[in-house]
Amino acid sequence: MVAGAAAGLAVAQAGPGITGLGPVRAVAFRRLAGHGDPGHVALTFDDGPDPDCTPDFLRVLSDRGVTATFFLLGTMTARAPELAAEIAAAGHEVGVHGWEHRYLPARGPWAASADLTRAVEVIGEVTGARPRFFRPPYGVLSGPGLLAARRLGLTPVLWGAWGKEWAAGATGATVRQNLLRDLDGGVTILLHDSDAAMPRAGAARAGLAAVPALLDECERRGLRVGPLGEHGV
């Protein structure tokens, strides 16, 4: 009985992490994967705001007349509140990526709830916009994380295409190839506007270099690009 109860708790804690597997998510959890309007592509960025990189992303998007969703970390927001406010003032949507970039299944119910609550409060206060969407660090959910998100009125959204800027040897060209491999109407794209949680320096710059080509390809295919709030998830 004790063993069964322990197993049940383990499943409740870490079981939702299976949605972190891209193929599983794409087939069985399309809404969680951010599949939306077939004529639209949701462009999202994780891990900022970062004074070293985020302003350059904002300039590129402004030049192209495109808005996106920025999943902010609470710690980064607290360090650069003016930049977080600038993101929202530019018309971009702000989401929550947690207070710290830590693996959710390794955190208990109290820690997961405190992390998300603190992040929502700080991001909302700094940007003047209460976040609607939540993306867990590393794209891995947990039972307590899902419960905390529901209590805070957050919708979890992962992604269907990503640049893999963190990979060894990644360049603007490889990021572009990764994105175009899975680019389709209704997809949610993941890039990063910070190296803060990346395994190597310069990763975000590789993603930045791919953004113009990505937007060109979306335009060529007649796909609108914008934030999750316009994506219908």
Q: Is 35 a catalytic residue?
A: no
Which position has the higher pLDDT, 233 or 123?
Answer: 123
Question: What's the pLDDT band for 97 if we cut at 50, 70, 90?
Answer: very high
In angstroms, rounded to a whole number, what is the distance separating the alpha carbons of residues 187 and 116? 26
pLDDT (0 to 100) of residue 149: 97
The predicted structure's pLDDT at residue 218: 98
With 90 as the cut, is the pLDDT of residue 75 above it?
A: yes
Query: Is 46 part of the annotated catalytic residue set?
Result: yes
Q: What is the mean pLDDT of the chain?
A: 90
pLDDT of residue 26: 53
Of 40, 97, 101, 192, the active-site residue reads 192
Which CATH code of 3.40.1050.10, 3.40.190.150, 3.20.20.370, 3.40.1190.10 fits the domain covering 20-230? 3.20.20.370
Q: Which tops the pLDDT comparison, 5 or 209? A: 209
Contact 164, 170 (CB under 8 A): yes
Q: What is the pLDDT of residue 28?
A: 44
Question: Does pLDDT of 2 surpass 60?
Answer: no
Q: What is the pLDDT of residue 12?
A: 42
pLDDT cut 90: percent of the chain above it: 86
| Percentage of the chain lying above the pLDDT 70 cut | 88
Q: Which of 40, 46, 193, 231 is catalytic?
A: 46
Q: For residue 31, what pLDDT is reported?
A: 85
pTM of the model: 0.89
Q: What is the pLDDT of residues 115-169, one digit of tens each?
A: 999 999 999 999 999 999 999 999 999 999 999 999 999 999 999 999 999 999 9
Decide if pLDDT at 72 tops 80. Answer: yes
Whether 61 shows a pLDDT value over 90: the answer reads: yes
Distance from C-alpha of 34 to C-alpha of 95, rounded to nearest angstrom: 14
How confident is the model over 99-108, as pLDDT tens digits? 999 999 999 9
Q: What is the pLDDT of residue 14?
A: 44
